[in-house]
């Protein structure tokens, strides 16, 4: 049933974003007094609809790639007052003041910003546990290696921004795409245990790259390394003298690079005395530990190729340690402030990325369309509800920023027309508006084709 996850996650993601956006327009339109004819999520043939007490038709349509709020306009020749008695005496859109019309146009993007704040508020209040962002030693010739880092590290800050996981690091580094100047990284070297700030000089960093490798170009390799973050009280690990922060580098002289290597060595050595080689605050130690035994039930095939399987019990070693994790949780009020700050930061980053696309610092091929969004939605849903909602918040901000661009057909384009009306003292001519809207429709269609081509190219 996994193949259903991607379309379902896509429809849920886009449906929520569009519903919030259009509901923003709807609420302010109702506040202004204008009569709302139709509130639609999606385009095309309605799947179902209902009419409220004020005569507004609410519709869920077949094509879930947007939505609209249709308002009564007394200039519309298609409006039949005789067939629609509820329109008699109704307030029309063009009879509103320019400021009400601006408020209606901006209400959609504002609703998407508000949705992002609410989601981040929930995420910060609910809290999360993430593996500490650690990297193996950078490769020869990488930017980090040339800047003086030649061993495994844990990353603490990127350009003064505190980071708790690789997603934070990815977003902080994304802001620097196409830049020249100094990138500052605060890291802890696992071997020495010393915190230091590394200055990495950038020169048109990954400028114009279609698929920028922000980690690889620096020499970062996101990993779960065998650094002890927790020692169980009374365990064999405690009796052996292991401590929080110990970096295990070998077991019985066999090197271990990742946490999985370390776990595998422990699990296959029940009741066996092991020599653990480790670094603690820059000092090399060798300790001896004997893993306890625990019985684990596994499912093993009765014979190769057999359809049936039977349970089997095996003995595994157990030492009583856990990796380094970072818990992020805030009280209700502080979580709200963090939600606002996160939304403002992501909004600034989105505007910056759009600006860099126009200047060529960031390739337009990094844009994603419906297919790409469906893939992201499905993958985030598989990763858990926190990841899915985090992607929803980021997409909501992107939708808000996109609609604020001064392109006819978008909310920002409507605002430009209304501002021109305020400055000139009269509405922009119908002919000019019609031509501009057709041009805007053409641009939006071209963008849709372009991002869909990008999506399909990535899949191929």
Asked if 22 is an active-site residue, the reply is: yes
CA distance 29 to 100: 8
End-to-end Cα separation, the chain, in angstroms: 23
CA distance 197 to 157: 9
Query: Tens of pLDDT along the chain (460 residues)?
Result: 566 788 889 999 999 999 999 999 999 999 999 999 999 999 888 999 999 988 899 999 988 888 999 998 876 655 554 446 566 667 888 889 999 999 999 999 999 999 999 999 999 999 988 999 999 999 888 999 999 898 999 999 999 899 999 989 998 999 999 999 999 999 999 999 999 999 999 999 999 888 899 999 999 999 999 999 999 999 999 999 999 999 999 999 999 999 999 999 999 999 999 999 999 999 999 999 999 998 877 665 444 455 555 567 788 999 999 999 999 889 999 999 999 999 999 999 999 999 998 888 888 878 887 778 888 888 888 888 999 999 999 999 999 999 999 998 899 999 999 999 999 999 888 888 889 888 988 888 888 888 888 777 766 6
Residue pair 182/212 in contact by the 8 Å Cβ criterion = no
Radius of gyration of the chain (CA): 29
Strands (E), 127-194: 128-131, 134-135, 153-158, 161-162, 181-189
Q: What is the pLDDT of residue 460?
A: 63
Tokens 């009419």 label which residue? 51
Q: Produce one character per residue of 116-146: b if its CB has 16 or more CB atoms within 10 Å, e if not.
A: bbbbbbebbbeebebbbbbbbbbeeebbbee
CA distances to 145, 173, 317 from 324, in Å: 24, 23, 20
Work out whether strand 309-318 and strand 283-289 pair parallel, antiparallel, or are unpaired.
Answer: unpaired
CA distance 90 to 84: 11
34 DSSP 8-state letter: B
Q: What is the pLDDT of residue 374?
A: 81
Residue 247's nearest CA partner among 190, 288, 289, 285 is 190
Enumerate residues 6+ apart whose C-beta is below 8 A from 17.
112, 115, 392, 395, 396, 399
Residue 367's nearest CA partner among 453, 440, 460 is 453
Two tokens, residue 214: 């922000």
Q: What is the pLDDT of residue 287?
A: 96
Helix, strand, coil shares of the chain, percent, nearest 5, are: 45, 25, 30
Long-range contacts of 229-235 (CB under 8 A, 24+ apart): 229/132, 229/322, 229/323, 229/324, 229/325, 230/321, 230/322, 230/323, 231/320, 231/321, 232/320, 232/321, 232/322, 234/320, 235/292, 235/319, 235/320, 235/321
From 22, 189, 191, 342, active-site residue: 22
Enumerate residues 6+ apart whose C-beta is below 8 A from 71.
29, 34, 35, 36, 37, 92, 93, 104
pTM, to two decimals: 0.85
């Amino acid at each position: 049933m996994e193949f259903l996850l991607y379309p379902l996650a896509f429809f849920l993601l886009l449906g929520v974003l569009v519903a919030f956006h259009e509901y923003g327009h709807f609420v302010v339109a109702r506040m202004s007094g204008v009569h709302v004819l139709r509130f639609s999520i999606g385009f095309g043939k309605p799947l179902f609809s209902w009419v409220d007490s004020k005569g507004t038709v609410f519709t869920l349509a077949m094509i879930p790639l947007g939505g609209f709020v249709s308002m009564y306009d007394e200039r519309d020749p298609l409006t039949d007052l005789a067939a629609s008695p509820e329109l008699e005496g109704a307030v029309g859109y063009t009879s509103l003041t320019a400021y009400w019309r601006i408020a209606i146009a901006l209400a959609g993007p504002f609703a998407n910003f508000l949705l992002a704040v609410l989601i981040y508020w929930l995420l910060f209040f609910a809290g999360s546990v993430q593996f500490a962002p650690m990297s193996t030693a950078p490769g020869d010739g990488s930017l980090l290696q040339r800047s003086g880092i030649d061993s495994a590290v844990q990353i603490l800050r990127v350009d003064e921004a505190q980071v708790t996981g690789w997603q934070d690091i990815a977003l902080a580094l994304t802001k620097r795409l196409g830049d020249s100047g100094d990138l500052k990284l605060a890291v802890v070297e696992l071997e020495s245990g010393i915190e230091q700030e590394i200055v990495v000089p950038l020169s048109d960093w990954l400028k114009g790259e279609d698929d920028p490798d922000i980690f690889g170009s620096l020499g970062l390799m996101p990993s779960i390394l065998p650094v002890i973050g927790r020692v169980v009280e009374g365990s064999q690990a405690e009796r052996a003298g292991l401590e929080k922060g110990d970096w295990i580098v070998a077991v019985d002289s066999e090197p271990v690079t990742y946490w999985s290597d370390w776990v595998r060595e422990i699990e296959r050595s029940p009741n066996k005395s092991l020599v653990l080689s480790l670094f603690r605050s820059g000092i090399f130690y060798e300790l001896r530990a004997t893993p306890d035994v625990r019985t684990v039930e596994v499912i093993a095939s009765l014979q190769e190729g057999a359809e049936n399987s039977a349970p089997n019990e095996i003995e595994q070693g157990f030492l009583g340690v856990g990796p380094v994790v970072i818990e992020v949780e805030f009280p209700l009020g502080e979580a709200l402030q963090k939600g606002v700050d996160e939304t403002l930061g992501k909004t600034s980053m989105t505007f910056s990325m759009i600006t860099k696309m126009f200047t060529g610092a960031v390739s337009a091929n990094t844009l994603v369309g419906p297919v790409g969004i469906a893939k992201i939605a499905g993958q985030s849903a598989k990763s858990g509800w926190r990841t899915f909602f985090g992607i929803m918040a980021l997409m909501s901000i992107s939708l808000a920023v996109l609609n604020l661009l001064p392109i006819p057909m978008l909310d920002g384009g409507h605002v430009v027309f209304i501002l021109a009306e305020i400055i000139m003292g009269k509405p922009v001519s119908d002919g000019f508006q019609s031509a501009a809207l057709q041009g805007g429709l053409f641009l939006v269609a071209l963008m849709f084709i372009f991002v869909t081509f990008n999506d399909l190219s990535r899949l191929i």
